[in-house]
Amino acid sequence: MKDQDSHFDSLLPPLKLDRRGFIATTVAAGFSLAAGPAVAQTAITTDASGLLAGKIDIPTPDGKMPAYRAAPLGKKNLSTVMVISEIFGVHEYIQDVCRRLAHQGYLAIAPELFARQGDPSQYTEIPKLQAAIISKVPDAQVQSDLDTTAAWAAAHGGNPEKLGIMGFCWGGRQVWLYADRNPKLKCGAAWYGQLAGDSTELKPKSVLSLVNDLKAPVLGAYGGKDAGIPLTDVDRMRIELAQGPAAAKASRIDVYPDAPHAFHADYRPSYRKPEAEQAWNRMLDWFKQNGL
């Protein structure tokens, strides 16, 4: 194990940010309270039989980042999918998504990307969660932590040549950004991630402004009745993709006309089973088509 960890240390990207230590030291148990009461009759529960699944710590230059990992038991050289959460962090829903992917043969890993700013599971109201944690998370920090997560996966059973990423809402936007960042990425899947937005110190670029530098194709899944992401933004993104480089032209955005925001979140009232299942199957096909 020591040799493996030494190999992992050599894969770590250089630290380029002034960071503080981690506040959250583990991933959440149960569903996020800030997301509202879980809807028991629709929440999907995937067991861990035949899987290596559970909470882990990923070493970084300034401490250990909590994460959740799921993979087929005893398998190596696996295609890896990084799973990026909504604003609620790596709670039970995200952990279950990792187990679903692991049953499809993937090493799925969800890093707790808010851990330096706080613990999302301690909040019961979205506005307070946004103000106290989410609004303080720099894109640069997130993207660097994704590099570290990818390196950890490559040193712990993942095939570094077969890396993918998926994410929901806040995480969907990060998928587009990471497809702009990492030339080794095979592909991504962005579930209703923000496309437009004003430039700020922590979020200097919108997804729409990055299309010309896209390095891996992305499949977008967006709801036609999403109150937070206008279809005009989706239409603009499609136009930009069609005029962009090869990875952009190879990307695709599917719109589910009757679906609201968070239509895949099976533990929330926003869940739409037919659209969620269709988009999930399209994503799995997308991964296969792009070499994952």
Pair 251, 214: CB distance under 8 Å:
yes
The one catalytic residue in 119, 145, 180, 226 is: 226
Calpha distance 118→100 (Å, rounded) = 27
Indicate if 226 belongs to the active site: yes
Nearest to 120 by CA among 83, 70, 170, 166: 170
The one catalytic residue in 145, 261, 264, 266 is: 261
Enumerate residues 6+ apart whose C-beta is below 8 A from 74: 52
Concatenate the DSSP letters of all residues of 147-169 into one string: HHHHHHHHHTTEEEEEEEEEEET
Cβ atoms within 10 Å, residue 117: 19
Calpha distance 58→123 (Å, rounded) = 24
Nearest to 23 by CA among 62, 69, 54, 53: 62
The one catalytic residue in 169, 187, 264, 266 is: 169
Enumerate residues 6+ apart whose C-beta is below 8 A from 198: 206
3-state secondary structure of 268: coil
Instruction: Supply 274's token pair.
Output: 């037919």
Enumerate residues 6+ apart whose C-beta is below 8 A from 208: 195, 196, 233, 236, 237, 240
Calpha distance 48→99 (Å, rounded) = 7
Indicate if 261 belongs to the active site: yes
Strand-strand pairing, 252-256 and 218-223:
parallel
Indicate if 264 belongs to the active site: no
Catalytic residues: 169, 226, 261
